[in-house]
Amino acid sequence: MTDHTDNSPAVPAEPIADPGIPAHLPRPTDVDPKAARRAERQVAAMFIASMLCAIGFAVAYYTFDIKDSWDTFLGFGASNLFLGLTLGFALLLIGVGVIQWSRKLMGDHEISELRHPAASAESDREKVLADLALGLEESGIARRPLVRNTLLGALGFLGVPAIVALNDLGPDATPSNIKKTLEKTFWKSGIRVVNDVTGRWIKASDMEIGQLVNAEPEGLVDAFDPRATAQQREDIESRSLEGAALQVAKTKSAVIVVRMEPKDISSATAAWAHEGIAVYSKICTHVGCPIALWEQQTHHLLCPCHQSTFDLADKGRVVFGPAARSLPQLPIEVDDEGYLVAKSDFLEPVGPSYWERDYK
Amino acid sequence: MTDNVAKSNGTTPAAVPASGLAAKGSAVVKWADDRLGLATSQKKMIRKVFPDHWTFMLGEIALWSFVVLLVTGVFLTLWFVPSMGEVQYQGSYDQLRGVEMSQAYASALDISFDVRGGLLLRQMHHWAAMIFIAAMLVHMMRVFVTGAFRKPREVNWLIGGVLILLGVVEGFAGYSLPDDLLSGTGLRIADGLIKSTPVVGTWMSFFMFDGEFPGEAIIPRLYVAHVLLVPGLILALVAAHMLLVVYHKHTQWAGPGRTEENVVGYPMMPVYAAKAGGFFFIVFGVTALMGGLLSINPIWKYGPYDPSKVTAGSQPDWYMGIAEGLLRIMPHWETHIFGTTWSWNVFLPGEVAPMILLGVMMMWPFLEAWVTGDKAEHHILDRPRNAPTRTAFLAAMMSVYGLLWAAGGNDLLATQFSLNMEWITRFMRVAVFVVPVLVFFIAKRWCIALQRHDSEKILHGYETGIIMRSPEGAYSERHLPISGEEAYRLTARARDNVVAAPVNGEVEAKGARAAKLRAKLSTWMFADNVQKPTAQELEEAHHHAEHEHELEAGLAHAADGHQFDGHHDVAGEELRH
């Protein structure tokens, strides 16, 4: 690399000489004792007002109700509003007062201080380098590579316990574990499709063209269809989940049920549907948001998080947005009474992509 | 040793007559110094000089809002329960009473409804977090655009970059803790991002959530990261950041008496301590007013997290906006090869691109130093216009940031402005590459135009707004010279040096390519800049001006209209306003 200073032109002389630090201009408070006393009173007044605000905070704390029936003031929650105002001004007035003090009354002579290079003195640097060399020499680290290398190895191997000890943060993502978790949902053959809030069974003949129902497999909703017999309820309860297991199951099993004109949907879609009623995973294949926005006219379903759009008339194909894969369709049929049930689990993993997704 | 200190304390007369307070103070100082020996380290601190400028306050806002975060955060930990264990809510908020939810969400509701002042502190904490990250970003832009990152401050620049990254991580961890529907959706997106990581994504996801999302582990784990691990790192780095500021001494703007060898301003005791200390109370006070007056993150409206639900128009906190925008405008690319899945559509925008954006900013000082070959320390700040390429680069980066931010709200833009969302997305896909280039050129030429204007002012004076008519009937605007201080301020900057390309054979083939690249970059960065006039040019200009002044003599005071054109006697005329 060339040193640029070699071929640079001579630097022309500075056009303007440094006039030096300007002379100090006195402020009104420097020359007029009245102005100084006024400033002093202003600052003290702010500090006193701050004290009053601090007391006001205590008053507001005990005066205003919160909980079920909170007091309001101009539409605000009175407690929060007055606590914020009093605390805010108690603090603000100290700050403004101190700064007013510094601007009006404290000395305001600009002073100059010399800088020093960030580097240490050359002699210090040489001493450190020499000491370092001496220390290394006395340790013999350069002459005894065996000791040095085995030490480095031993330190490196300490990474093993550090990493291994973290293994129980969670289960291993082995193919068999992934099969049991990410690639399996609560759905299986014969499980009823139920409304995700009321738990009611969904009768094919009750669905109207263009209608969308958010649904779950029976057992994940904390409510029974009124038509369920005692025996059926017992069955459902024996399968149902709670707590974290329920959340995990809902994360993968949530579906949407839509009814479209049978003539509008592709034959592949129809094969897993029933008279225009198709059931799709509600979990976006992009990063896993539940998909919610249904465009009845176009059969498009839009994810509210990143706007991936899927065509439900055509196997959930991606028509727009960042998602790369179709929305998985759940094969369904109707039972003897005409209610929607799953034919099987999803035939592909639902939700976002992951590295091992294509493993067979 | 103790004796020496005592003697020197006794024999050195105080510069200021000791008042009662100072005498008491000196007793305390003596007691402490006998035991801690602080005087040696503090002797240069008490009257340490800090230069004054409003932009030097931006980093201070970040510092103080971090202190506010620590104070309000400690308060919140007294009530918050970081557990995903299920409880039935029995608190004061009617609409959710009886609903099953995690303890984290229930305790966040309790803080909002059943702890007096709890909502205020929660809102202050959230507002302070937003101010913290915003202040860090604006402070970074100030440092960048004034060249304050130059030697010897490169390490502090990098520390600042890590602080911004940690601040964003800390903010995300924080707003995920209440376990409401919105924050749960955010965590789920984070899980999707993690899963897209090649090779180890699924492992990382399983380890983070102790199995499948959402599991029961993530809130307690995020909690300890949020209240201990990340703030500890931030605190340590803030301390290092501040120590380096003290060690390097603050940069200053060019001006009379300000040089590369000194620092001019006010002493820490009393002025700077008062201003900085007072400013802490102002930041704290403003945060309290915001907490009292402005609602933020009303978690009770979102409901507990339910993985099958989502709200339309879901938006993360503003500082996640660019990642959100990147995720939204990325085309749907995914590669399937040898049984593995490469989710470019998530991995690139979610993990790679934000790091590249930050990395490019962090590396710029090193690129600039390599191109200029400048090894000197710099303590006088560059005015943004005097480093046109650097300023234009920042403007281009800001335009990327702004576009991605807008892209992160493409659905809201579509609904609020009745636009077609798909076309917004398509536009953004192109715009994030095209607009920064346009912004770069506009900003660079703008800077150069401003530089020309400065040169004009130095050489020919400022524009008075007075139109002169010559005896021949020609019109011209009268210029008057600027003050000596102003002229010095405008010229107190180094000249840019364009590195010449190596002549063939001058360097061996090995280094030739790097040298050529360096010459090219140097030309690109500096060749078009306007340099300050030389002493000779200035003299010529003044000579020219003197000649003109002779023609236009008679104007010894401020003028406000054509009758003051220098050709009429204006004695006794009043200035009209």
Around Cβ B362, how many Cβ atoms within 10 Å? Answer: 19
Q: Which residues of A touch B503 (CB under 8 A)?
A: none
Measured CA to CA, the distance from residue A68 to residue A73 in angstroms comes to 16
Pick among B202, B245, B404, B507 to test the A interface (most A CBs inside 10 A): B202
Q: Which residues of A touch B341 (CB under 8 A)?
A: 353-358
Is the same domain home to A203 and A303? Answer: yes
CATH number of the domain encompassing residue A290: 2.102.10.10
Nearest residue to B246 via CA among B234, B260, B263, B261: B263
Model pTM? 0.90
Largest CA distance in chain B: 95
Question: What's domain B50-382's architecture?
Answer: Up-down Bundle (1.20)
Residue A171 belongs to some domain of the structure: no
B506 touches chain A (CB under 8 A): yes
**pLDDT reported for residue A358:** 85
Residue A240 belongs to some domain of the structure: yes
Residue B551 has pLDDT above 70, yes or no: no
pLDDT digits (tens, 9 = 90+) for B271-307: 999 999 999 999 999 999 999 999 999 999 999 999 9
Q: Which residues of B touch A356 (CB under 8 A)?
A: 202, 340-341
Measured CA to CA, the distance from residue B352 to residue A266 in angstroms comes to 38
Contact between residue A320 and residue B301 where contact means Cβ atoms under 8 Å apart: no
Residue B555 has pLDDT above 60, yes or no: no
Q: Is A354 helix (H, G, I), strand (E, B) or coil?
A: coil
A243, B86: Cβ pair inside 8 Å?
yes
Measured CA to CA, the distance from residue B308 to residue A196 in angstroms comes to 9
Measured CA to CA, the distance from residue A302 to residue A288 in angstroms comes to 13
A354, B330: Cβ pair inside 8 Å?
no
What value does the mean pLDDT take over residues B544-548? Answer: 69
Top-confidence range, A135-144, B22-31, B53-62: B53-62
- Residue A309 is classified by DSSP as E
CA B374 centroid distance within chain: 25
The two structure tokens encoding residue B349: 């925008």
What value does the mean pLDDT take over residues A53-70? Answer: 92
**Domain assignments of chain B as residue spans, ordered by start:** 2-43, 50-382, 444-564
Residue A117 belongs to some domain of the structure: no
Is the same domain home to A197 and A99? Answer: no
B410 touches chain A (CB under 8 A): yes
Give the DSSP letter string of B455-475.
Answer: HHHHHH-EEEEEEEE-TTS-E
pLDDT digits (tens, 9 = 90+) for B410-420: 888 998 999 99
Where is the domain boundary, A104, A132, A155? A104
Instruction: Mention every residue, 6+ apart, whose C-beta is less than 8 A from residue B429.
Output: B329, B331
DSSP-assigned beta bridge partners for residue B380: B252
Is the same domain home to A204 and A318? Answer: yes
B306, A250: Cβ pair inside 8 Å?
yes
Measured CA to CA, the distance from residue B166 to residue B174 in angstroms comes to 12
What value does the mean pLDDT take over residues A36-58? Answer: 97
pLDDT digits (tens, 9 = 90+) for B87-140: 999 999 999 999 999 999 999 999 999 999 999 999 999 999 999 999 999 999
Instruction: Mention every residue, 6+ apart, whose C-beta is less than 8 A from residue B55.
Output: B142, B146
Measured CA to CA, the distance from residue A110 to residue A294 in angstroms comes to 67
pLDDT digits (tens, 9 = 90+) for A264-283: 999 999 999 999 999 999 99
Q: Which residues of A touch B310 (CB under 8 A)?
A: 289-292, 304-305
| Helix, strand, coil shares, percent, chain B, to 5 | 65, 5, 30
What value does the mean pLDDT take over residues B376-392? Answer: 95
Measured CA to CA, the distance from residue B383 to residue B448 in angstroms comes to 12
Quick one: what percent of chain A has pLDDT higher than 70? Answer: 96
**Which residue in B113, B421, B511 is closest to A307 by CB distance?**
B421
Could you report the predicted ipTM of this complex, rounded to two decimals? Answer: 0.91
Is the same domain home to A342 and A199? Answer: yes
pLDDT band at A222 (very low <50, low <70, confident <90, very high): confident
**Which residue in B100, B340, B532 is closest to A355 by CB distance?**
B340
In degrees and rounded to multiples of 5, residue A165 shows phi and psi of: -65, -20
The two structure tokens encoding residue B276: 């900085």
Residue B216 has pLDDT above 80, yes or no: yes
B217 touches chain A (CB under 8 A): yes
Residue A261 belongs to some domain of the structure: yes
Where is the domain boundary, A80, A104, A128? A104
Is the same domain home to A345 and A235? Answer: yes
Residues A187-207, buried b or exposed e (16+ Cβ, 10 A)?
A: beeebbbbbbeebbbbebeeb
Q: Is A277 helix (H, G, I), strand (E, B) or coil?
A: strand
Residue A298 belongs to some domain of the structure: yes
**pLDDT reported for residue B484:** 87
Residue A118 belongs to some domain of the structure: no
**pLDDT reported for residue B58:** 96
B532 touches chain A (CB under 8 A): yes
Is the same domain home to A98 and A233? Answer: no
Residue A249 has pLDDT above 60, yes or no: yes
Q: Which residues of A touch B214 (CB under 8 A)?
A: 244, 247-248, 251
A15, B313: Cβ pair inside 8 Å?
no
Pick among B157, B345, B536 to test the A interface (most A CBs inside 10 A): B345
Residue B577 has pLDDT above 80, yes or no: no
**Which residue in B212, B287, B291 is closest to A181 by CB distance?**
B212
Residue-range definition of the domain harbouring residue A69: 28-104
Residue A120 belongs to some domain of the structure: no
Measured CA to CA, the distance from residue A256 to residue A332 in angstroms comes to 12
How many domains does chain A fold into? 2
